[in-house]
Structure 1
């Protein structure tokens, strides 16, 4: 990747067990500006660590406070501002207020999905690659 300033972003595959300890569910977000379903992520603030940004962005976009686990594969691609690098972690749920989060211009819906549903709902192949790397950790 060349040209432009590197855009740095961090996110997570937020997961839980469905009620009764059954299947793994992951939390996806719908972004109205892009009209897509994706893994929650966002840009780092100046001076912010990757891990702090991941935690902040997940809470802002989903209402979930989580604990970071191991780092997953990342994603690199080009956006209008230049090259973009996104680092992802596994994140377990500490506190879930996703049902109380109000829609906004950035994220208008957060949805818990079982893995098969998440794979089909995600709009970007890179997100499916990250989700696959997370599924190998369970």
Structure 2
């Protein structure tokens, strides 16, 4: 019998900014050409890295945005490449920065919550939009 695999540890954010839309905010989603998918900015933690620090680093690397962290959001647990993966998420307000396409992320879009929920490729990412709205008392 083989021992269960340790989960891949990752962290990310549901990135948002204030907007003049009816919801008063937009959510930033990234497109990853390697997977041809739309998701929240996230990535694997470096050895010994604190999940909070990793979430902020990933947002900066993938979107070019500096962010102000807010409430913790639900942790996603799923299989990736046959291995368990655990992604800790936080709400994060984009406060400054500019997006530059890179090999990992070629597009960043800002969408109202309902459109963001529809654009997300993976079903597991959609409840995070609702969790963000609840954490901001907008749900």
TM-score normalised per structure 1: 0.90
Cα-Cα RMSD: 1.7
Consecutive unaligned residues in structure 1, runs of 5 or more? none
8 A contact 1:28–1:38 mirrored in 2? yes
**1:76-91 → structure 2 map (5 Å cutoff):** 76-80=77-81, 82-91=83-92
Equivalent residue, structure 1, for 2:54: 53
Count of residues paired in the alignment: 134
Equivalent residue, structure 2, for 1:72: 73
Secondary structure in 2 matching 1:120 = helix
Q: Tell me, in whole angstroms, the C-alpha distance in 2 between the residues paired with 1:10 and 1:68.
A: 12
Consecutive unaligned residues in structure 2, runs of 5 or more? none
Q: Tell me, in whole angstroms, the C-alpha distance in 2 between the residues paired with 1:51 and 1:35.
A: 26
Q: Tell me, in whole angstroms, the C-alpha distance in 2 between the residues paired with 1:70 and 1:119.
A: 19
Q: Tell me, in whole angstroms, the C-alpha distance in 1 between the residues paired with 2:23 and 2:75.
A: 28
TM-score normalised per structure 2: 0.89
8 A contact 2:23–2:113 mirrored in 1? no
Q: Residue 55 of structure 1: CA displacement?
A: 0.2
**1:35-46 → structure 2 map (5 Å cutoff):** 35-46=36-47
